[in-house]
Amino acid sequence: MIRLHNYTLSGSCYKVRLLLGFLEIQHELVAVDFFPGQEHKSVEFSAINPLQQIPVLDDGNLRLRDAQAILAYLARRYDTGRTWLPDDPARFGQVMMWLGFAGTELMAASAARLHDAFGFDLDIDRARSDAHAAFAVLDDHLAERQILGQTWLVGDTPTIADVACFPYVALSGDGGIGQEHYPNLRIWQKAFRRLPRFDAVSGVPEFV
């Protein structure tokens, strides 16, 4: 049985839960008391992930950390239709490019949310302006995609690139980051929320 070391309000864990849902993969959630318990900093959890971060996924003897790596693994291993992580080299490369973006530049939106919603001590102005810069990159890309009549970040079906980018965009209001300036990003999020088996979370409503 697949086990996800999970905290419900974590956007990074949400990435993984979304794909588990889309691919209808049976799994077990192992609750990590990230806040206020700081369980990810415990000695026990450090043995699970020395980086002291969630999510972590166990599938048999395989243990993976990093949401993007987990998404890539799950798609390769369980997506029999091979659409969520395409084989075509160009599309595969584009998906990896947006996964990298989701794990770095876009994490500024996560930082802003950790500050506002969980009281983390960090440079909030910097986090918000970096998040806006990342959102503009995404909105510019989606504007071009929408001119071409396309909905998704890569190709003509949703991929793990969309899954990896969605949570911290959708949760940005929790970090005081408004989306009034990103019409293309808003249209993409609505399309994502309308996908079959989309899983809502606190701050990202089910109805769209």
Partner 1 sequence: MGAALALDTTQATALALSAHIPPGDVHPAILNGFELAVWRDSAGQLNLWEDRCPHRGMRLSFGFVRQDRLTCLYHGWEFGSDSGCKRIPAHPDLEPPKTLCAKPFAVAERFGMVVLNGAPHDDGTWYGVRTIFVPRPLQDVAIPDISETPWRTDGPFMLGTIDTHQVAVALHATSDGHSAIHVTTTHPDMDKRLSLARALVDHRQAMTQETT
Ligand X SMILES: N[C@@H](CCC(=O)N[C@@H](CS)C(=O)NCC(=O)O)C(=O)O
Residues interacting with ligand X, by CB under 6 A? 10-12, 40, 52-55, 66-68, 103
Positions that interact with partner 1 (CB under 8 A): 140, 143-144, 146-149, 179-181, 183-184, 186-187, 190, 205, 207-208
CB of 158 to partner 1, least distance (A): 18
What is the residue whose two structure tokens read 């008391």? 33
Q: CB-wise, 52 or 129, nearer to partner 1?
A: 129
DSSP string covering 112-136, please?
A: HHHHHHH---S-HHHHHHHHHHHHH
Q: CB-wise, 31 or 208, nearer to partner 1?
A: 208
- 61 interacts with, out of partner 1, ligand X, none, CB within 5 to 8 A per kind: none
CB of 167 to partner 1, least distance (A): 18
CA distances from 115 to 121, 144, 154 (A): 6, 33, 31
CB of 180 to partner 1, least distance (A): 5
Would you call the peptide bond into 183 cis, given omega within 30 degrees of 0 as the criterion? Answer: no
Q: CB-wise, 63 or 82, nearer to ligand X?
A: 63
Listed in order, strand segments (DSSP E) in the chain are 2-6, 27-31, 56-59, 62-65
Burial class (CB within 10 angstroms; exposed 0-12, middle 13-18, buried 19+) of 44: exposed
Q: CB-wise, 11 or 158, nearer to ligand X?
A: 11
